[in-house]
Structure 1
Amino acid sequence: MPGFLWRPQQVASVRATYRSAMAPVFLVPGSSATQNRFNELVTELNHETTTKHSLLRVEVMTNGEIQYTGSITRKDNQPIIVVGFQNHHDGCDTIKKQAVWFNLAFRQLQKTYHFNHFSAMGHSNGGLVLTLFLEHDLPKDTYAERLMTIGTPFNLEESSPDVDTPLFKELSADRKRLPRTLTVYSIAGSEGYAGDGIVPFDSVNRGKLIFQGNVRHFTQMTITGANANHADLPENQQIVALIRSDLLT
């Protein structure tokens, strides 16, 4: 009888602490960008690393169908998986749909590759997609380790600090659902004094009101200099170095 009572507790404990060998890094592009958005970035990331990372590109169609290009090399424990969407237009409604589509792709990939922990990077609205996913759809016994958002407009294009968009209100209201073990890096670009040319500083800075105090670590950075405008941020050499050191380590 003591053995029967002890065994379920042991199984639950092992399940809670087990980490799969594979821990993919998901990349999600922003509006108007496809699953090919980060091809050059991945090439650059692999340029100075002894261990090369596979690249699997995923496109989720509006009907939920999932298409794949590329592959994951055998024994690659940290492949890079880019998730793009057939509908990659801008707008709050589209962002919410993309979060649902990302969840479909994530669960299918998890079923195929049997991983239970991961890290992720989202550029622009891709950071919103990932934040919505982490708040609403993260599967049970799956561990989000690190999240990097680059030029992500948590208050959309609103530049006034006195105005909260409905999306920001939703993200803020559900912030307690974020995984407590998560480490978050929020990066803003600086083309001028007000933002990166597209996203206002205040909108990026709103990330601290969502993550700070609700995740294990939160770090906010501003990148200046060459390639610090919104579109060029993922290829900015400072950000490439941050991705290499903070997501691929």
Structure 2
Amino acid sequence: MKKLWVWLTVIVAIIVVAVLGIVISQHQSNHKSMESSNFTKNQTPTLFLHGYGGSANSEKYMVKRAEQRGVTNNTITAIVSKEGAVKLKGKLKSGASNPIVKIELEDNKQGYLDKNAKWFKNVLVKLQKEYHIKHFNFVGHSMGNLTFAQYMMTYGKDNALPQLNKQVNIAGTFNGVLDMNEKVNEISVDDNGKPSRMNPPFQQLRALKDIYNGKNIEVLNIYGDLEDGTHSDGRVSNSSSKSLKYLLGDSPKNYKESLYKGKSAQHSQLHENKAVADELIDFLWEKQEH
């Protein structure tokens, strides 16, 4: 009789756990469905690019968060070989909403911006050839932002290529990197983002203002401050990231800066930060009220 009670208790416990699992799963599904209704649904792909020494794993958390929030269920990876050849892992589904392309550069530790820019262009050309894309969004971290700036410098006026809609810059190294060409608290920026000293290739990047002019591009610039007196994320100074404002001027349709503070705002933690991920998701895909 005692064994029977034990078995009954076990069976009841299993049933309770199963029911709770179904209820929780249903609640999460309903919540995801409700939240996804707040986002636009279009076929414009968003390309994520990592920084120096990074990989597609650098983009993993942000992309996963977009999936969790019901923004997209179509993510592929574009792997760029050391020779610049592009291989796509996965397929962009016909009619998929807000597809995401994670870019991984196999040669992720070379600093020639012209080469990186060409590799980024190769990804766009591959997507254009296979999926006939006409527009794209961009999310970059660290040096990935400088790569993209060089891409826009070199190819931004080529109307035969897919055109940029929105860009998100995270921890951008637009005017230097600490302990490389800048010391802690050495450079400041004024209210317009103009730096007190311009490190190469900042002067050349000033041409971006003309390239962005009249294209209705929206820009979100995210940076981090450890609040340890360095005015940096530990790797990139706030002044370097904020100098993007001076490069673009009033050319974008809109430009927004967003500062994150504390340990979770450390350079590599910014792309693992839930609040950062949620802000860029809302910026890229949230429905606009008219």
For this structure pair, what is the TM-score category when the shorter chain's length is used for normalisation? 0.7 to 0.9
One-letter identity of the residue aligned with 2:248: F
Aligned residues: 226
Choose which of 195, 200, 204 in structure 2 pairs with 1:170: 204
**C-alpha distance in 1 between matches for 2:155 and 2:50:** 19
Residue equivalent to 1:183 = 218
**C-alpha distance in 2 between matches for 1:212 and 1:219:** 12
Q: Report the secondary structure of 1:27's partner residue.
A: strand
For residue 226 of structure 1, report the CA deviation from its aligned partner. 4.7
Query: Is the aligned partner of 1:219 residue 2:240?
Result: no
One-letter identity of the residue aligned with 2:93: T
One-letter identity of the residue aligned with 1:218: Y
Choose which of 135, 140, 148 in structure 1 pairs with 2:159: 140
**C-alpha distance in 2 between matches for 1:190 and 1:53:** 33
Is 204-213 or 141-150 further displaced after alignment? Answer: 141-150
**C-alpha distance in 2 between matches for 1:209 and 1:175:** 9
Residue equivalent to 2:128 = 110
**C-alpha distance in 1 between matches for 2:207 and 2:47:** 25
For residue 90 of structure 1, report the CA deviation from its aligned partner. 5.3
Say if 1:231 and 1:90 are closer, same or farther in 2 by CA, change over 3 A: farther
**C-alpha distance in 2 between matches for 1:226 and 1:160:** 23
Query: Is the Cα–Cα contact under 8 Å of residues 65 and 278 in structure 2 kept in the other structure?
Result: no
Choose which of 93, 112, 121 in structure 2 pairs with 1:73: 93
Query: Is the aligned partner of 1:85 residue 2:105?
Result: yes
One-letter identity of the residue aligned with 1:140: N
Is 160-169 or 146-155 further displaced after alignment? Answer: 160-169
Query: Is the Cα–Cα contact under 8 Å of residues 134 and 163 in structure 2 kept in the other structure?
Result: yes
Query: Is the aligned partner of 1:202 residue 2:239?
Result: yes
One-letter identity of the residue aligned with 1:156: G
Is 29-38 or 82-91 further displaced after alignment? Answer: 82-91
Query: Is the Cα–Cα contact under 8 Å of residues 51 and 144 in structure 2 kept in the other structure?
Result: yes
Say if 1:207 and 1:215 are closer, same or farther in 2 by CA, change over 3 A: same
Query: Is the aligned partner of 1:151 residue 2:186?
Result: no
**C-alpha distance in 2 between matches for 1:149 and 1:27:** 10
Q: Report the secondary structure of 1:75's partner residue.
A: coil
Q: Report the secondary structure of 2:236's partner residue.
A: coil
Residue equivalent to 2:114 = 96
Residue equivalent to 1:4 = none
Larger Rg: 2
**C-alpha distance in 2 between matches for 1:103 and 1:236:** 28
Residue-by-residue CA offset, 1:153-212 (whole Å, 9 max, x unaligned): 100213424321121111113431125311111111111231001001110111111112
**C-alpha distance in 2 between matches for 1:206 and 1:222:** 14
**C-alpha distance in 1 between matches for 2:83 and 2:68:** 37
Q: Report the secondary structure of 1:166's partner residue.
A: coil
In structure 1, stretches of 5+ residues that fail to align are: 1-20
**C-alpha distance in 1 between matches for 2:260 and 2:218:** 19
Choose which of 160, 180, 188 in structure 1 pairs with 2:187: 160
Residue equivalent to 2:79 = 59
For residue 127 of structure 1, report the CA deviation from its aligned partner. 1.2
Residue-by-residue CA offset, 1:5-54 (whole Å, 9 max, x unaligned): xxxxxxxxxxxxxxxx52001111111011332223212221122x5331
For residue 219 of structure 1, report the CA deviation from its aligned partner. 0.8
Query: Is the aligned partner of 1:47 residue 2:50?
Result: no
Identity percentage over the alignment?
22
**C-alpha distance in 1 between matches for 2:267 and 2:255:** 21
One-letter identity of the residue aligned with 2:46: V
Query: Is the Cα–Cα contact under 8 Å of residues 136 and 177 in structure 1 kept in the other structure?
Result: no
Residue equivalent to 2:16 = none
